[in-house]
Amino acid sequence: MIYFDNGATSYPKPRNTYIAAAEAVKNYGFNSGRGGYVESVRTAEKIYSVRERLGALFNFQPQNIAFTANCTAALNMAIKGSVKKGDHVIISSLEHNAVWRVVNHLKKDGVIDYDIAKFSYDDDETVNNFESLIGKRTSLIVCMAASNVFGVAFPIDKIGETAKKHGIRFIADGAQAAGVMPLDAEKDNIDILCAPGHKCLYGIMGTGFIAVREGVHLETILDGGTGSESLNPDQPDFLPDRLEAGTLNNIGIAALGAGIDFINSVGMENIYERELGHAQMLYDGLSENKNAVLYCKRPEKYKNAPIISFNLGDNQSEKTAALLAKRGIAVRAGLHCAPLAHSHFGTLERGTVRLCPSVFTTRRECEFLLNTLKKI
């Protein structure tokens, strides 16, 4: 298989991710923070070390990083935990359903109303599109770092700055950026960062996290045992316990730690440049293919995550993906759970074929894909 679906889940994983997962099943399958025996304590230390690595990567306090089942769970906790009745929320015009369905649910329940700020290639215009929607009731801005469909990146730092200026909470969705493009709580004024472990961070499925800036309070949507303050009828008010009810996915967390170590050893910028190089190669190759339809500008450093969307001729995107699948090439087609983004770029009707290289993708694989696309 030639794999270009890294935007869904990265594959393969670094060798140490596999090793860490297998080790963790045997050595860290104990409930941390709930037992006093040595294996439980060692497990707690292992998990804390992954909080530390995530904290260092994104500039959050380690204890303010709570592990979740996936990025979607983190976004639900961040958004639903932030708003109160009567609040106004602003999201971008490219948001994933992990944000759109959440704000829509809150709106349907009469809790909030929301507006959609348009993405623009001009960063100042994008920021202005957000700022012009801010009203007296606006309490929250939610924006992805980069589109999961088209790869275009948002000026997260400037949006964060604008939110801060207006005293508005800012949630960044790092689904396609965390691990490959720089995200920094302080520099980017991110109040809450949500991200998956199994994409650019090279962990395995079943992990995500919510990172919360010191002093940012969240109501909880998942309550339960935390191994702490058991007599308290409410969730403890300290992190990470407040946001971690029930048994954690220790195996996934340990594997995520290995994924982060891999990123640190190769260097995030090196990974990004390699992946971006592939994305540019794919873009250039598709530009030369008269049958290919592209929707965005050529990917550029810090303006794009390494993701390309295209279509072939008049084909429905699923048809092109099926033709590629027959030839052993794995891509994803359709709406990618992001109808807003397709609405923005005018691809709602047939969706797009999405190409996401990872650090393990080779130029030969890109060539093979481009040549295959010329023939079908």
Where in 335-374 is the site for a second copy (CB under 8 A)? 335-339, 348
> In the complex with a second copy, which residue's Cβ is closer, 127 or 329?
329
94 touching a second copy, by CB under 8 A: no
Radius of gyration of the chain (CA): 21
- 256 or 276, CB closer to a second copy? 256
Angstrom distance (rounded) from CA 51 to CA 72? 19
The site string for a second copy over 7-26 (x = CB under 8 A, - otherwise) reads -xx-xxx---xx--xx--xx
Q: Which of residues 229-248 bind a second copy (CB under 8 A)?
A: 230-231, 233-235, 245-248
The strand ranges marked E within 49-177 are: 65-68, 87-92, 112-117, 138-144, 169-173
Q: Give buried/exposed letters for 125-143 (b at 16+ CB in 10 A, else e).
A: ebbbbbbebbeeebbbbbb
Q: Does 193 bind a second copy (CB under 8 A)?
A: no
Contacts of 64 (CB under 8 A, 6+ apart): 55, 211, 212, 213, 214, 239, 240
- Distance (Å, rounded) from C-alpha 55 to C-alpha 62? 5
Measured in residues, the chain has a length of 376
In whole angstroms, the minimum distance from the beta carbon of 376 to a second copy comes to 14
Per the omega criterion (within 30 degrees of 0), is the bond before 182 cis?
no
Q: Which stretch binds a second copy (CB under 8 A): 95-103, 278-286, 292-300, 359-367?
A: 95-103
95 lies in the binding site for a second copy (CB under 8 A)? no
CB of 192 to a second copy, least distance (A): 16
Of residues 112 through 151, those in contact with a second copy by CB under 8 A are none
Q: Does 56 bind a second copy (CB under 8 A)?
A: no
Considering only residues 64 through 93, tell me which ones interact with a second copy, judged by CB under 8 A: 68-73, 75-76, 80
Residue 297 tokens, joined: 């500008």
H-helix or E-strand spanning residue 329: strand 329-330
Stretch that binds a second copy, among 103-111, 159-167, 209-217, 296-304 (CB under 8 A): 103-111
| Cβ proximity to a second copy, 180 vs 251, nearer residue | 251
- Residue of the chain from 108, 136, 290, 375 that contacts a second copy (CB under 8 A): 108
Contact window for a second copy (CB under 8 A) among 129-137, 177-185, 308-316, 327-335: 327-335
Say how far apart CA 220 and CA 196 lie, in whole Å.
19
User: DSSP label at 306?
Assistant: S
Could you say whether residue 224 binds a second copy (CB under 8 A)?
Answer: yes
